[in-house]
Amino acid sequence: MTWFASKSVQGLFEGTKTYRKEDGSLLLFRPEQNAIRMKVGAERMCMLSPSIEQFMDAVKQTAIANKRWVPPPGKGTLYIRPLLMGSGPILGLAPAPEYTFLTYASPVGNYFKDGFAPLNLLVEDEYPRSSCGGTGGVKTISNYAPVLKAMTKAKNRGFSDVLYLDSVNKKYIEEVSSCNIFIVTGNVISTPATNGTILPGVTRKSIIEIARDYGYKVEERCVPVDELINADEVFSTGTAVIVAPVGSITYQDKRIEFKIGYESLSWKLRSTLLGIQMGFDYWKKVVQICNFMKPLLAWNMVKDYSCYASQAASALQQVSKPSSYCEDKYAKVDWDNLGFGITPADYMYTMKCSEDGKFEQGQLAPYGYVELSPSAGGLYEGTKAYRTEGGRLLLFRLDQNAARMKMGADRLCMPCPSTYQFVDAVKQTALANKRWTPPPGKGTLYIRPLLMGSGPILGLAPAPEYTFLIYASPVGNYFKEGLKPLNLYVEDDFHRAARGGAGGVKSITNYAPVLKAMARAKSRGFSDVLYLDSVNKKYLEEVSSCNIFLVKGNIISTPATNGTILQGVTRGSIIEIARENGYQVEERAVPVDELMDADEVFCTGTAVGVAPVGAITHQNRRVEYKVKAESVSQELYSILEGIKTGVIEDKKGWILEL
């Protein structure tokens, strides 16, 4: 089962640039730092990754093969996008069985449409970018798709971009949407510390080294937003933006303006960095004067890694037939009007890794579509088709899945099929795969609707094309233990979502980051992980892929869906059934301490149904719960399954019969 996706579909990714010197040779800037960062990110996301040597070789070959797309000096750069994604089929919450690493390239100009005009930022205090214990320090789409809503809102008001605050105190600055930020006061340069919520930018690191060699004091620390008021200067850094001066920042309707121009520090640092990146000979003199030779030699500025003029011919012969490459010096591009967007260069580089954990030898290929399993991931839903004793097929509350996808698409700035289109697509998929629906009592046909950005995009913006698809697979029990009670572990270090983020959206962005905690818990003998809120670290949120309920007497409590918790279809159904059967259901903040006194705990979800919890361990204390046949969870499960399978009459209009 395969599907073809655009090269610009995102996963765990990097960005680096190729510069052309006056003599025609090509330069790359610190690509080993990108390789290391991808490896760190892959480890956090439980992904297999290429070695640093494989990464470097892929980038080098991509640059050489696309040499004619590298703009003339001063006209732009060739942006190279290394991308690592799970490309093998997976239905449950687990690492993919196959990964694809690829690099593609596009000539680019300025990142911001304003060119080198100073940025005009808006401080965002509603939507945070990441949370402590999350994946904010990883260069993955899970950190960028959720910010599109805030970016769109800011740009509609005339701002260039958004400056985000921390998710806990909402008073410390973190990042701009796609770049790091620096504040200058006198001889002191301050920038937020990379504590797991902030990307350790390659340009950020380089600017810190350059600034210190120039004699500035650089502080990496928590930077209160109030310090903006007294700052002399503010600037952003990133591979795409390089060093971008900030002209003004608006916070709580107060606009603060900063020093800009050729006399500013940001201009001085930008000029120095660009001089190094572009290999200007006269910068060597500046380096010597400024006692900057040590960093220059340490980076080896492409002397070892990236000066390809003398290697190009032999390298091309090694990777492909010479006749397959266009020998033109430059591609036909209007270099004077080059923007920051996709202009696909000739070749990309790909290699795959399967369960053996090793990436195969990669190869260059013409830029095009990549073969990808439909079960890769994006914004998705999950529903089931049930077969009755009479052979009919039943679907459960499809309108709720359609509504949730529409809500998620709006949060992530994606278009979405209508409710009618969604329901009709699921119906057609179920009927077409009827023979794959298990006999009654043997399982169900799991149906996965998936919405993904499939059009090419390089910068931080919604995709120009989206694909909606549905596939199906017969399934049995979600947990290997079958109907055995779950054994959960309360996670203190990793967090699933932040208030104002996209925790309430059924997107891969909320699930890939939990794989690390899941793997750790399962290695210790637990079934799954129960997460706490990221602010107070004391309120229950969710299990990795299902909602949670506590029972005490006649009261059933479950965390409220306040934006960090998924509005489960099964969750909503169980709440209705419980109330109709005389239980008092409370949707509220549930302290983790209440686990100690609960009579019963259970989880709900489309995949798990209603799963009893036998034990939960928190801070080395294990609590066990009632899991008898007459338990509340068993009572509610029996009613819900009866409705889903047609055994109990549906009086709510929940069932769609095919």
Tens-digit pLDDT profile for residues 604-643: 999 889 999 999 999 999 999 988 888 999 999 999 999 9
The half-sphere exposure of 175 on its side-chain side, counting CA atoms within 13 A, is 27
> Contact at 8 Å (CB) between 203 and 235?
no
In terms of CATH architecture, what is 379-475?
2-Layer Sandwich (3.30)
All CATH 3.30.470.10 domain ranges of the chain, comma separated, are 3-107+297-372, 379-475
Q: For the chain, give the percent of residues with pLDDT over 70.
A: 88
Q: Which CATH class is domain 3-107+297-372?
A: alpha beta
Report the length, in residues, of the chain. 658
Q: Is the pLDDT of residue 576 over 90?
A: yes
Instruction: Give tens-digit pLDDT for 454-500.
Output: 777 777 778 888 888 899 999 887 766 556 899 999 998 888 877 77
Lowest mean pLDDT among 137-141, 184-188, 540-544: 137-141
Cα–Cα nearest to 459, from 137, 147, 84: 147
Which pLDDT score, from 0 to 100, does residue 117 have?
83
Q: What rounded mean pLDDT belongs to the chain?
A: 85
Question: 309 falls in which pLDDT band (50, 70, 90)?
Answer: very low
Q: Is the pLDDT of residue 311 over 60?
A: no
Distance CA 30, CA 296 (A): 11
Q: Is the pLDDT of residue 7 over 70?
A: no
All CATH 3.20.10.10 domain ranges of the chain, comma separated, are 119-259, 486-657
Choice between 605 and 349, residue whose per-residue pLDDT is larger: 605
In terms of CATH architecture, what is 486-657?
Alpha-Beta Barrel (3.20)
State CA 463 to chain mean position distance: 15
Choice between 359 and 523, residue whose per-residue pLDDT is larger: 523
- The pLDDT of 14-34, averaged and rounded, is 93
Tokens 């990108």 belong to residue? 34
Choice between 553 and 494, residue whose per-residue pLDDT is larger: 553
Predicted TM-score (pTM) of the model is: 0.83
Burial of 569 (0-12, 13-18, 19+ CB in 10 A): buried
Which pLDDT score, from 0 to 100, does residue 422 have?
94
Lowest mean pLDDT among 129-133, 237-241, 302-306: 302-306
Lowest mean pLDDT among 245-254, 271-280, 646-655: 271-280
In terms of CATH architecture, what is 119-259?
Alpha-Beta Barrel (3.20)
Which pLDDT score, from 0 to 100, does residue 330 have?
82
Question: 543 falls in which pLDDT band (50, 70, 90)?
Answer: very high
Question: 376 falls in which pLDDT band (50, 70, 90)?
Answer: low
Question: 181 falls in which pLDDT band (50, 70, 90)?
Answer: very high
Residues that are catalytic: 506
Q: Is the pLDDT of residue 91 over 80?
A: no
Choice between 413 and 40, residue whose per-residue pLDDT is larger: 40
Which residues fall within 8 angstroms of residue 641, CB to CB, at 6 or more apart? 609, 647
- The pLDDT of 563-581, averaged and rounded, is 95
Which pLDDT score, from 0 to 100, does residue 229 have?
94
Pairing of strands 12-13, 547-552: unpaired
